[in-house]
């Protein structure tokens, strides 16, 4: 049975859940529960207002109330809000994290739909990337979100693609190195570097050192809009292009092609539209970054004027596809 349109448009429950995640109510209540007054004392909230929030979360099935003691405790559903929950979704809900903060820009979706410009910048006064560059706390939470995104998929990406064909790989915009580290573990003859902005490059170098990969892995601080480290056998773009409009995406692809020389490859890993990325994610990309989810055909067409031709398409993880591009041979 379909939900009524008003229920679909309800904001009370999603915002109540996000506030609960931000205040850490599931952690503070624990398995034994706590009263509204106790939770207010722990979080600095207003006890009467927090009690009303908790009552709604009980209605939503996120918390349960013991009427005799007045103690609220998270249900199995509510336990997913804990920072240590295996689902790892708290960074996507916490309003103070990069993911949760970005989601709130949906409140200004009308701005995007009427102007075509990202609502994020309209709401916060600067674009998403400038925002996380200016706020180290946001940058750390964004890197943690990327870790969560790839925690199961990075080993699959490493195992389901022929990385051993490429003795040296540059992971362009590779964050703190979670994907490249898995590739190097699975393919001992491969070497690689992450290229990303300085805070992420430092985190990648630390990851490689902790994993015993420092002899085969490095990190280069820089932007993927600048010239790439030349001469690698493959340039990896994992979850990068969908963050950008076509003009910026072509700049990134062109930079990789120029660095690759005649024999290198560019490997694009993305959740394809309708094959891992639905309409809601496509709308988020537009609202947050001005980016978009693309089909394999759209990515192939995007790469063609950059001097790249599609060589192979491989499903590498649930909801993610690798498109391997070769450098187009020049006539004559």
Catalytic positions are 242
Determine the Cα–Cα distance for residues 18 and 161; give it in Å rounded to an integer.
37
Angle between helices 47-59 and 36-43 (to 10 degrees): 120
CA-CA distances (angstroms) from residue 245 to 12, 218, 250? 33, 29, 9
Q: Are 99 and 147 in contact (CB under 8 A)?
A: no
Task: Name the E strands within 27-184.
Answer: 63-66, 71-74, 168-172
Q: Are 305 and 327 in contact (CB under 8 A)?
A: no
3-state DSSP assignment of residue 315: strand
Q: Are 326 and 262 in contact (CB under 8 A)?
A: no
């Amino acid at each position: 049975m379909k939900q009524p349109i008003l229920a679909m448009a309800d904001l009370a429950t999603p915002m109540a859940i996000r506030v609960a995640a931000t205040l850490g109510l599931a952690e503070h209540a624990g398995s034994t529960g706590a009263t509204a007054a106790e939770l207010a004392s722990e979080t600095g909230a207003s006890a009467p207002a927090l009690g009303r929030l908790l009552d709604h979360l009980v209605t939503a099935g996120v918390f349960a109330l013991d009427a005799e003691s007045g103690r609220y405790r998270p249900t199995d559903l509510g336990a997913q809000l804990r920072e240590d929950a295996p689902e790892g979704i708290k960074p996507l809900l916490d309003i103070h994290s990069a993911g949760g903060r970005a989601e709130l820009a949906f409140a200004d979706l009308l701005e995007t739909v009427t102007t075509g410009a990202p609502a994020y910048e309209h709401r916060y006064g600067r674009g998403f990337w400038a925002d996380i560059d200016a706020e180290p706390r946001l940058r750390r939470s964004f890197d943690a979100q990327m870790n969560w995104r790839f925690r199961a998929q990075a080993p699959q990406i490493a195992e389901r693609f022929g990385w051993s064909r490429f003795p040296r790989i540059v992971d362009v915009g590779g964050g703190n190195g979670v994907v490249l580290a898995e590739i190097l573990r699975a393919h001992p003859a491969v070497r690689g570097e992450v290229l990303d902005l300085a805070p992420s490059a430092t985190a990648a170098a630390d990851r490689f050192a902790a994993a015993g990969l420092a002899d085969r892995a490095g990190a280069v601080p820089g932007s993927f809009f600048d010239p790439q480290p030349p001469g690698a056998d493959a340039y990896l773009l994992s979850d990068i292009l969908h963050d950008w409009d076509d003009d910026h995406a072509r700049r990134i692809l062109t930079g990789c092609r120029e660095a690759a020389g005649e024999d290198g490859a560019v490997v694009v890993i993305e959740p394809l539209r309708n094959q891992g990325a639905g309409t809601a994610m496509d709308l988020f990309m537009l609202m947050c970054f001005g980016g978009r989810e693309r089909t394999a055909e759209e990515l192939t067409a995007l790469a063609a004027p950059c001097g790249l031709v599609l060589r192979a398409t491989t499903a590498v993880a649930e909801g993610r596809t690798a498109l391997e591009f070769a450098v187009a041979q020049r006539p004559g």
